[in-house]
Chain A
């Protein structure tokens, strides 16, 4: 569609430049708070649904299948497997899944001194010293390849 005649020549199209600076403070939520407290204690917590029996990581206040309150928070052993990984800026980022658990964690995997990263390798969480933990995912410093995996 063409512009009306009177408009076409009158003015140069203009840009108006401005910015919208936004700052946020997000609460972790009820289940996120439990997860954060677990990490501070060196634990990985998931949530369990008594109706369907599924365990979820990160934990959720409710079961996404059954849409009922989760019945329990359970400690998940810090041993998992690389489900998939990507490498960027010299770092390896992996989706790590845990046996019998739906979901998983995205985290940094320390490269093995010999050999290459592979899907399916077994990894374990290395927590920071207690006094350095802040109650977030960085309380796990990285995942490392377990020997003989």
Chain B
């Protein structure tokens, strides 16, 4: 296997609604990533795009529709999809190509335009449920998250206050992110008193729906050494999918994520992730998911993540900064682009380019993770300077 480097990253603003079409957002993020890498579209051997269900954009064959905006015209081009896990799966699918020698330079693009769907993007999620056994009950996406959150709270005796701390931290971190949609200084009390949507989930426990795009450029070692003094290496990748029978699973521990993480840790020769990972961008569409995922990633023992959060360990100046970008809760959640935002953040942090968001301790190794489908997929990328 060849070594694979990240050599550039770019993204658009994340906003509830954008004038740009999906193609235009994909172009803007891709152009910025190519500019940072000092590359022209002609240098790009292959393009991998990620985007969530077509039902959001309201364009079927969305991959093909977005092709020219992603710079993929008449190139080897692929769209990959694993629900909300897509954003961190796109670079994995691009990594295969560079590691195997199929391509030297791959443009990696995540795009999501959720705003077209009326009356609310939430409605598209209805179609992911079993049409016979679940939809007749009036199921919504929020049900499954709140059911998972409730189970997590029950098993480890976690308080809503502890979970709210994650929303407070991430929305505050996002104040320093130029793309942020929901950056704010809020208190635990604000979260607890926000409107209940699907108890225990309240308004401020949830990330918004968003339009946006993000992109990175991957290169082989030869190319990376030639074009940059500061490559960031992808040293581990992992992915894993559990069954869609989500009502038959342990809802308080994401076993599929543990398996995905272990796959990436083996590749990166990591035996004690809590000590060896310097910081992480974990998937946080809901505040409890950050805790859930820290545990699945074994960055915390089972049930320990709320305690680490309370003690400030996961703050930017803590021992294990989690979501220094501001995460989905603060920066926004254009699904596939949100996962790619995390990849870009790890890249910028490792290069010391994160500005006011830069974590306090020196960092050499970071992790990005995403999650999705019917609460069943984990995708993990480890990067090193």
Measured CB to CB, the nearest residue on chain B to A15 is B132
8 A Cβ contacts from B171-213 to A: none
Contact string, A27-43, partner B, CB cutoff 8 A, digits 1/0?
A: 11111110000000000
Partner of A25 from the list B73, B116, B123 (CB cut-off 8 Å) is: B116
Measured CB to CB, the nearest residue on chain B to A17 is B131
Instruction: Answer whether residue A106 sits at the interface, using C-beta atoms and an 8 A cutoff.
Output: no
Tell me whether B24 and A61 are in contact (CB under 8 A).
Answer: yes
A61 to chain B, nearest CB (A): 5
Tell me whether A24 and B116 are in contact (CB under 8 A).
Answer: yes
Stretch of B15-23, B137-145, B277-285, B301-309 lying at the A interface: B15-23
Q: Which residues of A contact B95 (CB under 8 A)?
A: none
- For the complex, give the distance between the alpha carbons of A20 and B55 in Å: 11
Instruction: Answer whether residue A18 sits at the interface, using C-beta atoms and an 8 A cutoff.
Output: yes
A36 to chain B, nearest CB (A): 11
Tell me whether B116 and A30 are in contact (CB under 8 A).
Answer: no
Tell me whether A27 and B118 are in contact (CB under 8 A).
Answer: no
Interface size class of B (residues with CB under 8 A): 20 to 34
Tell me whether B19 and A64 are in contact (CB under 8 A).
Answer: no
Q: Which residues of B contact A33 (CB under 8 A)?
A: 19
8 A Cβ contacts from A24-66 to B: 24-33, 61-62, 64, 66
Tell me whether A30 and B20 are in contact (CB under 8 A).
Answer: yes
- For the complex, give the distance between the alpha carbons of A64 and B68 in Å: 6
Q: Which residues of A contact B58 (CB under 8 A)?
A: 22, 24, 26
Tell me whether B24 and A30 are in contact (CB under 8 A).
Answer: yes
Tell me whether A29 and B21 are in contact (CB under 8 A).
Answer: yes
A85 to chain B, nearest CB (A): 25
8 A Cβ contacts from A52-99 to B: 61-62, 64, 66-69
Instruction: Answer whether residue A113 sits at the interface, using C-beta atoms and an 8 A cutoff.
Output: no
Q: Which residues of B contact A69 (CB under 8 A)?
A: 31
Measured CB to CB, the nearest residue on chain B to A66 is B41
Instruction: Answer whether residue B122 sits at the interface, using C-beta atoms and an 8 A cutoff.
Output: no
Instruction: Answer whether residue A23 sits at the interface, using C-beta atoms and an 8 A cutoff.
Output: yes
Contact string, B1-39, partner A, CB cutoff 8 A, digits 1/0?
A: 000000000000000011111011001101100100000
Given known contacts A18-B131, A61-B24, A68-B31, A27 and B19 CB-to-CB distance under 8 angstroms: yes
Partner of B27 from the list A22, A26, A28, A62 (CB cut-off 8 Å) is: A62
Q: Which residues of B contact A26 (CB under 8 A)?
A: 21, 58, 116
A63 to chain B, nearest CB (A): 9
Contact string, B223-246, partner A, CB cutoff 8 A, digits 1/0?
A: 000000000000000000000000
Measured CB to CB, the nearest residue on chain A to B130 is A16
Contact string, B95-135, partner A, CB cutoff 8 A, digits 1/0?
A: 00000000000000000000111110001101100011001
Instruction: Answer whether residue B71 sits at the interface, using C-beta atoms and an 8 A cutoff.
Output: yes
Tell me whether B19 and A62 are in contact (CB under 8 A).
Answer: no
Partner of A61 from the list B18, B27, B123, B124 (CB cut-off 8 Å) is: B27
Q: Which residues of A contact B321 (CB under 8 A)?
A: none
8 A Cβ contacts from B39-71 to A: 40-41, 55, 58, 68-69, 71
A76 to chain B, nearest CB (A): 20
Partner of A22 from the list B71, B115, B117 (CB cut-off 8 Å) is: B117
B233 to chain A, nearest CB (A): 26
Q: Which residues of A contact B18 (CB under 8 A)?
A: 27
8 A Cβ contacts from B351-375 to A: none
B23 to chain A, nearest CB (A): 7
Tell me whether A23 and B24 are in contact (CB under 8 A).
Answer: no
Q: Which residues of B contact A27 (CB under 8 A)?
A: 17-21, 115-116
Q: Which residues of A contact B31 (CB under 8 A)?
A: 62, 67-69
Partner of A29 from the list B23, B123, B136 (CB cut-off 8 Å) is: B23
Partner of A67 from the list B41, B119, B132, B135 (CB cut-off 8 Å) is: B41
- For the complex, give the distance between the alpha carbons of A61 and B123 in Å: 30
Tell me whether A29 and B71 are in contact (CB under 8 A).
Answer: no
- For the complex, give the distance between the alpha carbons of A98 and B81 in Å: 39
- For the complex, give the distance between the alpha carbons of A28 and B23 in Å: 11
Given known contacts A29-B20, A67-B27, A16 and B131 CB-to-CB distance under 8 angstroms: yes
- For the complex, give the distance between the alpha carbons of A25 and B24 in Å: 17
Q: Which residues of A contact B28 (CB under 8 A)?
A: 61
16 extra interface residue pairs, beta carbon distance < 8 Å, beyond A27-B18, A32-B21, A69-B31: A16-B131, A18-B136, A22-B58, A22-B117, A24-B58, A24-B116, A25-B116, A26-B21, A26-B116, A27-B19, A27-B116, A29-B24, A31-B24, A33-B19, A62-B27, A67-B34
List the interface of chain A (C-beta within 8 A of B).
16, 18, 20, 22-33, 61-62, 64, 66-69
22 residue pairs from A and B, CB less than 8 Å apart: A18-B135, A18-B136, A23-B118, A24-B116, A25-B115, A25-B118, A26-B58, A26-B116, A27-B18, A27-B20, A27-B21, A29-B21, A29-B23, A30-B21, A30-B24, A61-B28, A62-B24, A62-B69, A66-B41, A67-B30, A67-B40, A68-B31
The 8 A-B residue pairs whose C-beta atoms are closest, nearest first, are A29-B21, A67-B41, A24-B58, A23-B118, A24-B116, A16-B132, A62-B27, A61-B24
